[in-house]
Amino acid sequence: MKTVLVIGGGGREHAIVDALSRSPQVGKIYCAPGNAGIGLQAENVPLKDTDVEGLKAFALEHAVDLTVVGPEAALAVGIVDAFRAAGLKIFGHTRAATAIESSKEFAKRLMAKYNIPTAAYRSFSDYDEALAYVSARPFPAVLKYDGLAAGKGVVIASDLEEARKALADMLLDHAFGQGKVVVEDFLTGPEFSFLCFVDGDRVYPMPLSQDHKRAYDGDEGPNTGGMGAYTGLPFITAEDREFAYMEIMCKAASAMVSEGLPLSGVLYGGLMKTPQGIKVIEFNARFGDPETEVVLPLLKSDIYDIFEGVASGREVSDPEWSDGVTLGVVMASKGYPGSYQKGFEIEGLDLVDAQVYHMGTVIRDGKVLTNGGRVLMIVCGGKDLAAARACVYEQLAKIRCENLFFRKDIAHRAFF
Ligand code: AMP
Ligand code: GLY
């Protein structure tokens, strides 16, 4: 039996642990740092996801056969390079290849060079030049900080004043660091997520999904990490999917091989169906959260085979997926994505007859407490979205906690 270490401690990692626990080859699963729900299916290890030395020592000491990396932060500090140098098998991209997510400018240059459809752009390190360029163009202006900025590095400025402030934050005050700013054309259309397992030129697609980034119903309110997701997108045709697979995901994988930076992990295409066709909004070098929680429950193949094959650079059989669809709703702490309190008891979890993925929870004195902005995600499968949606909201009503809120319109594009 195989021993696996999963790195991370959110809903995404709970879904990965859950999928691994369905593998007949997997015996022991560790998760660092894990959370209360993960702790029911794996052994939580109190190490930070970026503590490369600590994690490496743990994997060596506990004879871990395979490590699976969830968060981009761990990839960006070079955990894969360090594990491989120590002879440890690990699923995730090298630090250099993670640039496809960690540097907006790298990703934009790659797309321009290999003719992958995306918004036209220019990048700037000088504030005055950036401001002059933005002033001469139509609004809204899309301004992206060139580096990891915890989801706060993108500003859609509706007028010059907003743009001036954002550029000053990024290029004069260096709010996120010393990076450049990418200014790109504003695109319109529904967004969706295309996750693929990628090993060099080999690209194994997962079902498409859609996240809901705004905090409140009707796609109102501030941007969050994601308030819910579903598969079975009503607005994507088979042709759209084929185009996105061939012209975006496969081309990006080959481009990285040509650049001497082969991918080895998950490539996440954040795509938009614009009136001019499907275009890339961003690439991520990891599973999406909350997309993973609705995608992996559909996987019928053994996920250990896929992870191990990709990590070893060996071809694997095409993953098989269930025909049905899934829908998941996030329960978040009141105040999120702004400031919020933690430590509220969650009751009724044992009554829920659906998949519950923990995103930010902790157990204290036998009680499950809220411990993050996004706290839980309830996921149901069904033959169609109406069935999955009815199931999720019925089950979610059983959870009692005074400090949680959730969106009531997940998958609204399929219904309203
Ligand atoms: P990113 O971090 O690059 O995914 O950007 C965050 C969000 O900003 C995206 O999910 C989009 O909703 C929005 N966005 C980014 N780039 C553009 C663009 N070129 N046109 C319109 N909206 C965009
Ligand atoms: N759901 C957005 C992300 O994982 O980046």
Do 351 and 404 belong to one domain? yes
Q: How far is the CA of 375 from the centre of ligand 1 (A)?
A: 25
Residue 77 maps to a domain: yes
Nearest ligand to the CA atom of 186: 1
- Is there a contact between 67 and 7 (Cβ–Cβ < 8 Å)? yes
Residue from 289, 295, 407 to probe ligand 2 pocket by mutation (most atoms less than 8 Å from CB): 289
What are the pocket residues of ligand 2 if the criterion is a CB atom closer than 6 Å to any ligand atom? Answer: 211, 226, 284, 288-289, 291
Distance, CA of 163 to CA of 173 (rounded, Å):
14
Residue 274: strand, helix, or coil? strand
Do 302 and 336 belong to one domain? no
Residue 64 maps to a domain: yes
What are the tens digits of pLDDT across the range 98-152? 999 998 899 999 999 999 999 999 999 999 999 999 999 999 999 998 877 766 7
What is this structure's pTM? 0.95
Among the three residues 286, 312, 338, which one is the final residue of a domain in this structure?
Answer: 312
Do 334 and 401 belong to one domain? yes
Total domains in the fold of the chain:
4
Do 179 and 279 belong to one domain? no
Residue 251 maps to a domain: yes
What are the pocket residues of ligand 1 if the criterion is a CB atom closer than 6 Å to any ligand atom? Answer: 119, 142, 144, 154, 156, 184-187, 191, 213, 270, 281-282
Write down the pLDDT at residue 150.
62
Query: Closest ligand 2 atom to the C-alpha of 288?
Result: 4
Among the three residues 91, 111, 133, which one is the final residue of a domain in this structure?
Answer: 91
Do 292 and 332 belong to one domain? no
Residue 68 maps to a domain: yes
Range of the domain at 388: 325-415
Q: How far is CA 233 from CA 240, 241, 397, 413, in A?
A: 11, 11, 25, 8
Residue 110 maps to a domain: no
Q: At 244, which CATH number? A: 3.30.470.20
Do 133 and 177 belong to one domain? yes
Residue 167 maps to a domain: yes
Do 213 and 308 belong to one domain? yes
Residue 104 maps to a domain: no
Distance, CA of 152 to CA of 145 (rounded, Å):
9
> 187 pLDDT band (50/70/90 cuts)?
very high
Do 180 and 197 belong to one domain? no
Residue from 154, 158, 223 to probe ligand 1 pocket by mutation (most atoms less than 8 Å from CB): 154
Residue 83 maps to a domain: yes
pLDDT at 177 exceeding the cut of 90: no
Six-digit token pair at 9? 């401690």
Query: Closest ligand 1 atom to the C-alpha of 119?
Result: 19
Write down the pLDDT at residue 175.
84
What are the tens digits of pLDDT across the range 239-268? 999 999 999 999 999 999 999 999 999 999
Q: How far is the CA of 224 from the centre of ligand 1 (A)?
A: 13
